[in-house]
Structure 1
Amino acid sequence: MSQDNHDDQVRPDVDAGTVLVTGGSGGLGHQIITMFSTMRESSRIHSVDLRAPVKPLESVQYHQTDLTDEIAIRTLFDLVKPAIVIHCASPRYDASMEVMRRINVEGTKLLVDIAKASGTKAFIYTSSASVISDGKTDLKGADESYPLIIGEAQPEYYVNTKALAEMYVLSQNQPTGTPRFLTCALRPSGIFGVGDSWVVPGILEAYHRGQTWVQLGDNTNLFEFTENTNVAYAHVLATAALVAAYAKDNTTVAEDKVDGEAFFITNDEPVYFWDFTRTIWKYAGDTTKPEHICVVPRSWAMGVAFVLEWVYWALWLGNPPLTRTKVRLSCMTRYYSITKAKQRLGYKPVVGMREGLRRAVEDCLRREIGLTKGHLKQQ
C-alpha cells in the first residue's frame, strides 16, 4: 500500500446551481453532499432518500421519498428544480431481485426521464466497476473499452441491473438539440469508508465470529477498492466537467469528452485481497499469526458455498455465511485503469488506502457495526 494523501488539501470548487443527490443518507451520498457543502462556491444541495440522515448537515435540505414513486418524484423536481442530479442511491447487494430491478432499473429510468423533462442540465450515475466482469475472468488493468456484461452472461443480478441502468443513462446524453441534457457514469470498485454499511462491516463480522484463521485461495490475486471520499471527489469533478461542457455548447474535443462517457474510479492502489481484509482485522485488534492461517483452495470453497446456499434456501434460513459470490470475489484478480478519469476529470485519490481503512474501522467500532466492542489497533 502506498503513502497516504490528505483530503484536507483538496477542495474542488464548482458552482453547479441546485444539486440533487439521491441516497444522501447513505455512506457515499453523505460524503458527496458533505464535499459540496464545504466548497467555497455556493451550490444549493438537496438530498432524497427513503431514510432520514443520521447526522444531517445544516446547509442541506433533506427529502424522504421513494425513488420509484412517480408522483412524488415529479413533485420533488417541481419543488427543487435541480440543475444537476447525482444518482447514487441503490439497494444492497443482497436485496431481492424485485427490489434491485425496481430501484436500479425502473427507478433510474424514471429519474432520468423526469430530470430531462424538468430542465436538469446534467445527470451523473454511480455505476459499478463490476459491470464488465463475468464473475470468472480475471481483469488486469481493465479500462472503459471493455464491453458491459449483461443478461445470461452476467452471473450477478445486482450487477446486471447496474449495467442496464448505466446503459440507459448514457443513452440519454443529448449534447445538442432541445433540451440539452448531459450524462455520465462513474464506476467505483469496492467502495468502503466512513458510513460504510457493507464492505468493512462484513469483514469485521468475520473477525467477531473468530474466522480470521481461515483464508479462501492463495492470496495471489490483486483486487481494487475505493475509499468513499475519493468516490465523492470524483462525483464533484464530474459535476464540474459537465457544467463546463454545458457552458461550451458542445465544443469539447473528443479527447476531453466527459458527457456520454463512463469512468472507472479506484484508489489506484491494487492490493492482494487478503492483505486488505487482514489490515482491517489488525486495526480492529486481530493478532492472528501467518503460521496459524488455514488456506482453503478455491475449488473446495466453491463446493462448500454451493451446499450452504442450497441448504439455507431449502430451509428458509436467510443468507448463508459463505456464498459462491463471496468465494469468487475473494479469489479473483480484478483491478482497473483509471487513466481516462485522470486525463478527462483531473481525478486522483485524495485519501490513501491505509488512512481510509483506519477511518472506516474506527467509524464501524464507534457505531458498533460488525463488532460489539473493540479498540482501534494503533500501527
Structure 2
Amino acid sequence: MAQRQQYQPLGHIVVTGGSGFLGNHIVALLHSRNAYTKLTVLDLKKPASPISGVNYIDTCDLTNFEALLSTFESLKADAVVHTASPNHTMGNKDLMYKVNVEGTRNVVNACQETGVKALVHTSTASLVHDTKSDLINADESYPLIMGKDQPEYYTITKAQAEIHVLASNRTPEYPKFLTCALRPSAMFGEGDVQLIPPGLSAYYKGQTKVQIGQNNNLFDFTEITNVAHAHHLALAALLATREREDKGGSVPLDTERVDGEAFFITNDSPVYFFDFARSVWAAAGDETKNEQVWTLSKDIGLLIATLMELVFWLFRLGKPNLTRQQVQYTCMTRYFNIDKAKTRLGYEPVVTMQEGIRKGVKDALYRGVVRGQPMELKGKKFD
C-alpha cells in the first residue's frame, strides 16, 4: 500500500480543521508517512485522539484575522492544508459564510503575508451540481453552479472560497504563492458521522427491504483515506514546483500544472446507489436477499417524503426519516472523471470501496454513533 512507501518530508505543515473528520485523517496519514519536519493543527476543538509529536492549537478562530495572522507569524509554516468548514447540515448560513468565505480569505491572506509557499484547499464535488440533474462522468470543465441555480447555500459559500483560493495563485503581489483545490465526492470512512451512521440506522430500523428507484444510477463515494492521500500528493506537487522554480527551473506546462487548478477526487469506482447501501448493511450483518426487496418508484418516494415533511413541520417534530432531497439523491446519477487528478497528481485510491466500508462500519458501531444500534456493540472490538 502507498502508506509503506518512503516520502520526502515537506517541511512545516499546518492543517486547519485538523481535529475534524478529514483534517484528522490528513494529519494521521502525514504522520504515518513521516512526511513533514513539523506538523501543526489549527482548530477550535481538541482532537478525539491526539497524535504524539503533533502541535495542536485549539484556540484559533479563522474569522479573527489579526489573531490568525499572529499565529501564522509565530508558526512560520511552509505549507497549509485548509480543511476547516462547519457541518453543512447545521443550516447556519451566517456561520457558513463567516468560516467558508471570510475564514478562507483570512487563511489566504495570512499565508501570503507570512511567506507560506503553498496552500491546498479542500473544496467539494458539489460545486458543479444543482442537486437535481444527473452528472455523468463530470470533469473540471463543468461550470460552477451558483446563485439562484444552486439551492444549497453551503455549496455557494464553498464555491466562493474555491474561486478566491485559485485566484490567489501566483498573483502579481505574491507571485511565488501557489494554490490548488481538491473536490472530493461523498466522503465516508472511520470517524464518519454523515454517511455510514445514518445508513446503518436504516438497517437497525428494519428498513433494508425497501428501495426507492430501480437502482440503475451510478454514484461516486470516496473513502476518507484516499482523500487524505490526494491532499498529500497535492502538497508535494505544489512544493516541488516551488522548489524547482526557486532553483531557476521552468514553470510547468499547462497540461502538467497543479497550481491554480481544481481536481475531483473519488474512489474511481462509481457504484449503484443502493449497492453501496447494501454493502454497508451487509457489513453490519444484514442478510436481505434481492427477491425480498420492495421497490418504490421515485414519484411515490417523493410523495411519501413530501407528506412526511409536512406532518413533521406541522407538529414540529424535527427532521423526518425521509426527505425529498434524500429521495432525489437516492435516484440520481452522480459520478466524476478523475483523469486530471490521476495524470497531474499521480493519484490513485489506496483503500478500496469494500475495505473502506468494512472499516467504517466497524468504527461507527464501536463509537456507538448509530441511532438504534444495540448498545452492547459500543466499544466492542470486531474481528
Give the TM-score, by structure 2 length.
0.92
Aligned to 2:38: 44
TM-superposed deviation, 1:320 = 2.3
Q: What is the distance in 1 between the residues matched to 2:268 and 2:226?
A: 10
Q: What amino acid is the match of 2:298?
A: R
TM-superposed deviation, 1:286 = 1.3
Aligned to 1:75: 70
Q: What is the distance in 1 between the residues matched to 2:306 and 2:116?
A: 46
Aligned to 2:220: 224
Q: What amino acid is the match of 2:138?
A: A
In 2, are the aligned partners of 1:283 and 1:376 still within 8 Å (CA)? Answer: no
| Residues 324-356 of structure 1, C-alpha deviations (whole Å, 9 max, x = no match) | 221111111111111000110000001111011
| Residues 263-302 of structure 1, C-alpha deviations (whole Å, 9 max, x = no match) | 0111011100000001001111112222222212112222
Aligned to 2:341: 341
Q: What is the distance in 2 between the residues matched to 1:197 and 1:122?
A: 30
In 2, are the aligned partners of 1:37 and 1:43 still within 8 Å (CA)? Answer: no
The partner residue of 1:156 within 137, 152, 155 is 152
**Residue ranges of structure 2 left out of the alignment (5+ in a row):** none
In 2, are the aligned partners of 1:131 and 1:160 still within 8 Å (CA)? Answer: yes
Q: What amino acid is the match of 1:329?
A: Y
1:172 matched to 2:162: no
**Residue ranges of structure 1 left out of the alignment (5+ in a row):** 1-5
In 2, are the aligned partners of 1:191 and 1:226 still within 8 Å (CA)? Answer: yes
TM-superposed deviation, 1:69 = 2.6
May I ask how many residue pairs the two structures share in their alignment? 372
The partner residue of 2:107 within 97, 107, 111 is 111
Identify which range, 87-96 or 67-76, moves more after superposition.
67-76
Aligned to 1:3: none
Change beyond 3 A, Cα 1:41–1:29: closer
Q: What is the distance in 1 between the residues matched to 2:295 and 2:354?
A: 25
The partner residue of 1:209 within 202, 205, 210 is 205
Aligned to 1:17: 11
In 2, are the aligned partners of 1:105 and 1:162 still within 8 Å (CA)? Answer: yes
Pairs within 5 Å for 1:127-142: 127-142=123-138
Pairs within 5 Å for 1:272-287: 272-287=272-287
Q: What is the distance in 1 between the residues matched to 2:66 and 2:205?
A: 45
TM-superposed deviation, 1:228 = 0.7
TM-superposed deviation, 1:200 = 0.7
1:30 matched to 2:11: no
Change beyond 3 A, Cα 1:177–1:247: farther
| Residues 205-233 of structure 1, C-alpha deviations (whole Å, 9 max, x = no match) | 22222221221211000001111111011
TM-superposed deviation, 1:129 = 0.9
Q: What is the distance in 1 between the residues matched to 2:164 and 2:34?
A: 33
> Does 1 or 2 have the higher relative contact order (CA < 8 Å, sep 6+)?
1
Q: What is the distance in 1 between the residues matched to 2:84 and 2:164?
A: 16
In 2, are the aligned partners of 1:21 and 1:46 still within 8 Å (CA)? Answer: yes
Q: What is the distance in 2 between the residues matched to 1:211 and 1:136?
A: 25
Give the TM-score, by structure 1 length.
0.93
Q: What is the distance in 1 between the residues matched to 2:277 and 2:2?
A: 23
In 1, are the aligned partners of 2:267 and 2:349 still within 8 Å (CA)? Answer: yes
TM-superposed deviation, 1:303 = 2.6
In 2, are the aligned partners of 1:12 and 1:237 still within 8 Å (CA)? Answer: no
| Residues 52-103 of structure 1, C-alpha deviations (whole Å, 9 max, x = no match) | 1111001211111232233332232122122211111222221122222222
